Amino acid sequence: MDQVEIEMIEAEEEVKQPRIRTSTSEEFLECKLTDEELIECAKDQNAQIKQCLRLEGQKKAYNSQIKSEIETCEECISELSNKISSQAEYRHIECQKIEDFDEGTVTVTRLDTGEVITDRKMTRVELAEADDLFIEYDNSADEIEDPYEDTGEASE
């Protein structure tokens, strides 16, 4: 073989060699589970179902609690709005009640401001109570002894 033939054979050999690169990589592929893996998945699923049910119960209780707190807050806002719009509120105020049985009137006066709250005529029921009250008082007055009353005994 001459030099030209050798070069041609070498050239043919160079052409025949494939140009290949080999490397490794990771791919996300389907794999069949073993019986042990299936059992473990079933146990995990059961635990997650129980956890989910427990959390749903907590959510209902929490929602109920939060709903109640929101309603309380809304009631407070409403009360404050009423105070602001009316510029007043109701409070327990000490008052003086004068029942004048001779005049047949009832007068109620605020002790903090002196303002007369009520000035009205007595009802029939109040007048009847007055009659009963003073009849009992008059009868009991006769039975009480006056220590200063003259008993006829002379003291010297």
Give 74-116 pLDDT, tens digit per residue. Answer: 999 999 999 999 999 999 999 999 999 889 899 999 999 999 9
Nearest to 95 by CA among 124, 115, 125: 115
What is the rounded distance in angstroms from the CA atom of residue 126 to the CA atom of residue 97? 13
Angle at 86 between CA 84 and CA 92, to 5 degrees: 95
With a CB cutoff of 8 Å and minimum separation 6, the contacts of 76 are none
Give buried/exposed letters for 99-113 (b at 16+ CB in 10 A, else e): beeeeeebbeeeeee
DSSP H or E run through 39: helix 35-86
What is the rounded distance in angstroms from the CA atom of residue 125 to the CA atom of residue 119? 17
Q: If you write DSSP's letter for every residue of 120-132 in order, what string do you get? A: EEPPHHHHHHHHH
pLDDT score, position 71:
95
In which residue ranges of the chain is pLDDT below 70?
A: 1-2, 4-16, 135-156
pLDDT score, position 60:
92
Token code pair at residue 134: 């003073």
From edge to edge, which strands make up the β-sheet containing 105-110?
95-100, 105-110, 116-121
Give 149's strand partners.
Answer: none
pLDDT score, position 64:
92
